[in-house]
Amino acid sequence: MEEEAEVDFDENGNQVGEAEKEMRRDQVRQARERRKAEMGGSGHGKGGTEGGNEDETTEFNMELMLRTLHIDEKVIGWNRAEQRWV
Protein backbone atom coordinates (compact mmCIF):
# COMPACT_ATOMS: atom_id res chain seq x y z
CA MET A 1 0.00 0.00 0.00
CA GLU A 2 1.39 3.39 -0.99
CA GLU A 3 1.79 6.08 1.71
CA GLU A 4 0.01 9.37 1.14
CA ALA A 5 2.13 12.52 1.29
CA GLU A 6 1.12 15.18 3.81
CA VAL A 7 -0.80 17.92 2.02
CA ASP A 8 -1.21 21.43 3.39
CA PHE A 9 -3.78 23.99 2.33
CA ASP A 10 -3.82 27.79 2.55
CA GLU A 11 -6.64 29.94 3.98
CA ASN A 12 -8.51 29.71 0.64
CA GLY A 13 -8.38 25.92 0.51
CA ASN A 14 -5.71 25.80 -2.20
CA GLN A 15 -3.00 23.17 -1.98
CA VAL A 16 0.34 24.53 -0.80
CA GLY A 17 3.55 23.21 -2.37
CA GLU A 18 6.94 22.71 -0.74
CA ALA A 19 8.28 26.06 -2.02
CA GLU A 20 5.32 27.87 -0.44
CA LYS A 21 5.78 25.98 2.84
CA GLU A 22 9.46 26.94 2.96
CA MET A 23 8.62 30.57 2.21
CA ARG A 24 6.12 30.60 5.10
CA ARG A 25 8.70 29.03 7.43
CA ASP A 26 11.12 31.81 6.47
CA GLN A 27 8.46 34.43 7.19
CA VAL A 28 7.87 32.94 10.63
CA ARG A 29 11.61 32.91 11.35
CA GLN A 30 11.91 36.54 10.27
CA ALA A 31 8.95 37.54 12.44
CA ARG A 32 10.54 35.81 15.44
CA GLU A 33 13.81 37.64 14.81
CA ARG A 34 11.98 40.98 14.57
CA ARG A 35 10.13 40.28 17.83
CA LYS A 36 13.38 39.35 19.51
CA ALA A 37 15.00 42.58 18.26
CA GLU A 38 11.98 44.62 19.43
CA MET A 39 12.36 43.10 22.90
CA GLY A 40 15.99 44.15 22.96
CA GLY A 41 17.24 40.70 22.09
CA SER A 42 16.64 39.53 25.65
CA GLY A 43 14.32 36.69 24.73
CA HIS A 44 12.64 37.07 28.12
CA GLY A 45 9.06 36.04 28.39
CA LYS A 46 6.73 34.18 30.68
CA GLY A 47 6.50 30.45 30.50
CA GLY A 48 8.61 27.37 30.94
CA THR A 49 12.23 26.98 30.05
CA GLU A 50 12.30 23.23 29.46
CA GLY A 51 14.95 22.27 26.97
CA GLY A 52 16.18 25.84 26.79
CA ASN A 53 14.15 26.42 23.63
CA GLU A 54 13.51 30.14 23.16
CA ASP A 55 10.11 29.51 21.54
CA GLU A 56 8.88 27.80 24.70
CA THR A 57 9.69 30.87 26.80
CA THR A 58 7.65 33.29 24.71
CA GLU A 59 4.23 33.93 26.21
CA PHE A 60 1.37 33.30 23.84
CA ASN A 61 -1.32 35.86 24.53
CA MET A 62 -4.10 37.69 22.76
CA GLU A 63 -1.79 40.54 21.68
CA LEU A 64 0.65 38.13 20.02
CA MET A 65 -2.13 36.20 18.31
CA LEU A 66 -3.79 39.33 16.93
CA ARG A 67 -0.48 40.78 15.73
CA THR A 68 0.42 37.47 14.07
CA LEU A 69 -2.92 37.41 12.26
CA HIS A 70 -2.64 41.12 11.33
CA ILE A 71 -5.86 42.00 13.17
CA ASP A 72 -6.31 45.46 14.65
CA GLU A 73 -7.25 45.17 18.33
CA LYS A 74 -9.55 48.17 18.16
CA VAL A 75 -11.55 46.70 15.27
CA ILE A 76 -12.54 43.64 17.28
CA GLY A 77 -12.79 45.42 20.65
CA TRP A 78 -9.76 44.10 22.54
CA ASN A 79 -8.23 46.29 25.26
CA ARG A 80 -4.53 45.45 25.54
CA ALA A 81 -3.96 47.37 28.79
CA GLU A 82 -6.81 45.63 30.63
CA GLN A 83 -6.44 42.32 28.75
CA ARG A 84 -10.16 42.09 28.14
CA TRP A 85 -12.89 42.69 25.57
CA VAL A 86 -14.48 46.14 25.59
Answering whether pTM is above 0.75, one says no
For residue range 42-81, what is the model confidence (pLDDT) as tens digits? 544 444 444 444 555 667 888 888 888 989 888 899 888 8
Domain boundary assignment for the chain: 1-44
Residue of 7 and 5 predicted with greater confidence:
7
SS3 per-residue string spanning 49-85: CHHHCHHHHCCCCHHHHHHHCCCCHHHHCEECCCCEE
Residue of 10 and 84 predicted with greater confidence:
84
Structure letter (DSSP) for residue 7: -
CA diameter of the chain: 56
What are the angstrom distances between the C-alpha of 8 and each of 17, 41, 81, 86? 8, 33, 36, 36
Q: How far apart are CA 23 and CA 26, in angstroms?
A: 5
Average pLDDT (16-41) is: 84
